[in-house]
Structure 1
């Protein structure tokens, strides 16, 4: 079931309790559909799309880059990140420190030990340096033409961006994914934060 049509501006839906329930119910179903679609991609199609994404990222300037460890069929940036690190950039991975709190970004070095984090995703150990990225590359489950991101439902990226920007950090966010993850709208709510750029291939 889709949420009711917008009663006001199509940019944001009003966050009353009933609307929020409808949007979250719709997002759960859409999230499951899009993840299944992504995981079912043929290997050759995935490799071609990843190559196009990495090419589009080549000229992005950044001193400190927040990436992610690939999960459930997300594009794999690890080789690209290692090259950027070889050219002087610092690379960081996101870490969930507690539920309903902003992420922290710990420095990732290919030879450093990793531990298992939330959902068993590898993360740098606690003694790794905490960095503030000036560029965050965020995987999308879905994304709409206004560059609002549908993620996994925890709200971590929106919460993190809000906290970092409130602290005065100038952070750009690029969402990446596959072409099939483009959807007409995520039905954005007031807490959703649009990304600066989206790369789909």
Structure 2
């Protein structure tokens, strides 16, 4: 976010949403919602403006950084279930790493919406899985695929900030899911370096991620031990 944009955004609030003692103030929440909607549109447009070759190169860099993180912090994720995502609308494509990890014995899952306004469901994926069209026409495993609980879950980022907060698509599914899972999985945000924001103005429902990775490498890393 440019300095001018940040100043204009902050002037829209009587006090910073991050510092306010009452983050549930209805007027403030409406201001944050309007700002987030505008930022989503801007960041998604910028992502789609990238050339295909640029997105592919950045995605390959992210896959390498993610593989390194899994090796260094989680013993290669052996014996764990890792939830990926099926890339849409210019999101980083990590499908080659899904195949690689599957071949190394890691159980791979994909999230899907089975009930509106409810937590996501995770179903097992393999390269042989016959995908079907799910919510928003996203390819997902079929209903007969095994339902699993992830140990590690990846979250595609529309935007992100240095506190580990994620700007998503606005449906609230990811935060709703994390709040429902016990134990909560390790969370890894995947997004472009250009999607970095000074703040997303976190609200009470927002949940900070454990790690954030971009094509530049590991940007946020919390102690998950």
Which bin holds the TM-score, normalised by the shorter protein? over 0.9
Quote how far apart the aligned CAs of 1:30 are. 0.4
Q: Counterpart in 2 of 1:91? A: 108
2:159/2:168 contact within 8 Å kept: yes
Structure 2 counterparts to residues 98-113 of structure 1, below 5 A: 98-113=115-130
- 1:178 maps to which of 178, 182, 192: 192
Quote how far apart the aligned CAs of 1:7 are. 5.0
User: CA separation of 1:105/1:74 partners in 2, compared to 1, >3 Å: closer, same or farther?
Assistant: same
CA deviations 1:156-200 (Å, max 9, x no partner) are 000001110xx3x14110001111111111110000000001011
- Return the alpha-carbon distance in structure 1 between the equivalents of residues 184 and 164 of structure 2: 18
Classify the secondary structure of the residue corresponding to 1:46. Answer: helix
Quote how far apart the aligned CAs of 1:11 are. 8.8
- Return the alpha-carbon distance in structure 2 between the equivalents of residues 120 and 170 of structure 1: 28
Q: Counterpart in 1 of 2:149? A: 132
Q: TM-score, normalised by structure 2?
A: 0.83
- 1:38 maps to which of 44, 47, 52: 47
User: CA separation of 1:87/1:32 partners in 2, compared to 1, >3 Å: closer, same or farther?
Assistant: same
**Unaligned stretches of 5+ residues in structure 1:** none
Quote how far apart the aligned CAs of 1:40 are. 0.9
Q: Counterpart in 2 of 1:194? A: 208
2:85/2:154 contact within 8 Å kept: yes
**Structure 1 residue runs of 4 or more that deviate by more than 3 Å after TM superposition:** 5-13
- Return the alpha-carbon distance in structure 1 between the equivalents of residues 171 and 189 of structure 2: 17
User: CA separation of 1:17/1:117 partners in 2, compared to 1, >3 Å: closer, same or farther?
Assistant: same
Classify the secondary structure of the residue corresponding to 2:96. Answer: helix
Structure 2 counterparts to residues 61-76 of structure 1, below 5 A: 61=74, 62=77, 63-76=80-93
**Unaligned stretches of 5+ residues in structure 2:** 1-7, 216-225
- 1:22 maps to which of 9, 23, 31: 31
Q: TM-score, normalised by structure 1?
A: 0.93
- Return the alpha-carbon distance in structure 1 between the equivalents of residues 141 and 106 of structure 2: 17
- Return the alpha-carbon distance in structure 2 between the equivalents of residues 200 and 113 of structure 1: 30
Query: How many residues align structurally?
Result: 198
1:12/1:188 contact within 8 Å kept: no
- Return the alpha-carbon distance in structure 2 between the equivalents of residues 19 and 123 of structure 1: 36
- Return the alpha-carbon distance in structure 1 between the equivalents of residues 45 and 64 of structure 2: 26
Q: Which has the higher contact order (CA 8 A, sep 6+)?
A: 1
- Return the alpha-carbon distance in structure 1 between the equivalents of residues 51 and 35 of structure 2: 27
User: CA separation of 1:7/1:77 partners in 2, compared to 1, >3 Å: closer, same or farther?
Assistant: closer
